[in-house]
């Protein structure tokens, strides 16, 4: 029995010893820390930004991460702590709590979903750390929980693209009922998918286009190709393919060409028109020049500099705009359409030289 007791005691004793060590180390490093803090104040302490990115699922996301990182490099008084949430809200909440403990000066959040942020944003507010939301939105009861939101207007992107198609059809005198569209959607439930699908549906209803099918391609090239293949088997009159990002468009073009279709904007001669979004992918941009993709509505991932401006505004005591939409272009090789009008506002089309 005594023997047993010893064997139980031993781990406890060792643990206790280590705990003492921990306390000892802890106190010394407090002193060290306070020393370094004093030194840094003399050199002006850098502004620390904690960035919780939702994941790394697409070209757009990678470009977005890169833009943020290059705007806060640590060279000119701004440093960034980056955390990849791997598409899970629980990870992102944990990252924000970590930032609060590390006492960052600002938190930038690219949320994976819209709901369920109230508690953790309240914690950040209680610690007096301003939060900036980028890309997708958050749905919180108290809007003062975040300083501002910076991102894209996905529905506007869709309106620009559909308006371009409408003008094109008008110019060529193609009747609305002869426009047979299939929509290769993004990941269902993503803000970009919701906005772009709604934009197309509204336009199809407004102009009387024939919207044949809406199938998700998960924002990927392989899935885009697969979906296009099966759509071609199902319908033989498709003449417009509306892809909700570039990767899907590349896949769809592969499938169309393998099926012997000609990709282009000359609908009267039996070509199939491809319309796409994002404009990040190099290959997709070269396809615009070649006319394989008739038009791309840009979705600008370069949010880093804008976040930086917002932080500078707060630093100097100002209040940035609550909702800030990034400036986004529309690319096409067609020289006849120079601008599109959405809600009485005119947006110029960037003509890409052949």
| Cα atoms in the Cβ-side hemisphere of radius 13 Å centred on 211 | 19
In terms of C-beta density within 10 A (0-12 exposed, 13-18 middle, 19 or more buried), how is residue 345 classed? exposed
Minimum distance of another protein from residue 222's CB (angstroms): 20
Q: Which CB atom, from 145 or from 340, has the smaller least distance to another protein?
A: 145
Binding mask 35-74 for another protein (x = CB under 8 A): ---------------------x------------------
Nearest approach in angstroms of CB 97 to another protein is 5
Nearest to 96 by CA among 69, 117, 75, 66: 117
Segment (H or E) for 51: strand 47-53
Q: Residue 127 interacts with another protein (CB under 8 A)?
A: yes
Supply the minimum distance, in Å, between the C-beta of residue 123 and another protein.
8
Q: Which of 66, 70, 73, 119 binds another protein (CB under 8 A)?
A: 119
116 exposure class (CB count in 10 Å sphere: 0-12, 13-18, 19+): middle
Question: By CB under 8 A, is residue 211 in contact with another protein?
Answer: no
* Stretch of 112-120, 214-222, 279-287, 306-314 lying at the interface with another protein (CB under 8 A): 112-120
**CA distance linking residue 144 with residue 155, whole number of Å:** 25
Find the binder of another protein among 3, 44, 173, 354 (CB under 8 A).
3
From the list 33, 171, 230, 338, which residue makes contact with another protein (rule: CB under 8 A)? 33
Which CB sits closer to another protein, 25 or 268?
Answer: 25
* Residue corresponding to tokens 């102009």: 207
168 neighbors 178 (Cβ within 8 angstroms): no
Distance CA 107, CA 189 (A): 25
Q: Is 2 in the site for another protein (CB under 8 A)?
A: no
Phi, psi of 296 (to 5 degrees): -120, 125
Question: Which of positions 83-102 make contact with another protein (CB under 8 A)?
Answer: 83-84, 86-90, 94-95, 97-98, 100-102
Question: What residues have CB less than 8 Å from 118, skipping those under 6 apart?
Answer: 140, 141, 142, 145
- Binding residue count for another protein, defined by CB under 8 A: 45
Judged by CB under 8 A, the chain residues 213 through 252 that form the site for another protein are: none
Torsion of CA 27, 28, 32, 37, to 10 degrees: 0
Write down the least CB distance from residue 58 to another protein, Å: 15
Q: Is 142 in the site for another protein (CB under 8 A)?
A: no
309 interacts with another protein by CB under 8 A: no
Residue among 63, 108, 148, 144 nearest 325 (CA): 148
Q: Which of 73, 77, 189, 339 binds another protein (CB under 8 A)?
A: 189
- Residues 320 and 339: their CA atoms lie apart, in Å, by 30
Interface contacts to another protein, rule CB under 8 A: 3, 6-8, 10-11, 14-15, 18-19, 21-22, 25-26, 29-30, 32-33, 56, 81-84, 86-90, 94-95, 97-98, 100-103, 113, 115-116, 119, 126-128, 188-189
């Amino acid at each position: 029995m005594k023997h047993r007791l010893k064997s139980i005691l031993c781990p406890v004793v060792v643990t206790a010893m280590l705990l003492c060590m921990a306390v000892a180390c802890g106190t010394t490093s407090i002193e060290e820390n306070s020393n370094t803090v004093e030194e840094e104040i003399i050199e002006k302490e850098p502004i620390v930004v904690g960035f919780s990115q939702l994941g790394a699922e697409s070209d757009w996301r990678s470009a977005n991460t890169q833009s943020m990182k290059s705007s806060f490099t640590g060279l000119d008084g701004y440093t960034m702590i980056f955390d990849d949430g791997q598409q899970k809200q629980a990870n992102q909440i944990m990252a924000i709590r970590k930032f609060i403990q590390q006492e960052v000066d600002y938190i930038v959040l690219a949320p994976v979903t819209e709901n369920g942020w109230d508690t953790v944003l309240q914690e950040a507010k209680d610690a007096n750390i301003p939060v900036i939301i980028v890309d997708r939105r958050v749905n919180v009861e108290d809007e003062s929980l975040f300083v501002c939101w910076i991102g894209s207007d996905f529905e506007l992107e869709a309106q620009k693209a559909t308006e371009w198609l409408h003008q094109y059809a008008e110019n060529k005198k193609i009747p609305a009922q002869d426009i047979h569209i299939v929509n290769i959607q993004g990941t269902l439930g993503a803000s970009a998918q919701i906005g772009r699908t709604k934009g197309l549906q509204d336009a199809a209803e407004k102009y009387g286009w024939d919207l044949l099918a809406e199938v998700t391609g998960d924002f990927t090239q392989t899935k885009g190709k697969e979906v296009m293949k099966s759509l071609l088997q199902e319908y033989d009159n498709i003449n417009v393919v509306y892809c909700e990002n570039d990767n899907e468009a590349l896949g769809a073009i592969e499938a169309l060409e393998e099926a012997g279709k000609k990709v282009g904007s000359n609908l009267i001669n039996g070509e199939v028109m491809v319309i796409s979004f994002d404009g990040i992918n190099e290959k997709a941009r070269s396809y615009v020049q070649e006319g394989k993709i008739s038009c791309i509505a840009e979705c600008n991932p370069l949010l880093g500099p804008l976040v930086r401006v917002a932080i500078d505004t707060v630093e100097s005591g100002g209040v940035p705009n609550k909702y800030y939409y990034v400036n986004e272009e529309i690319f096409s090789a067609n020289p006849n359409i120079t601008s599109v009008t959405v809600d009485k506002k005119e947006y110029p089309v960037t003509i890409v030289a052949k």
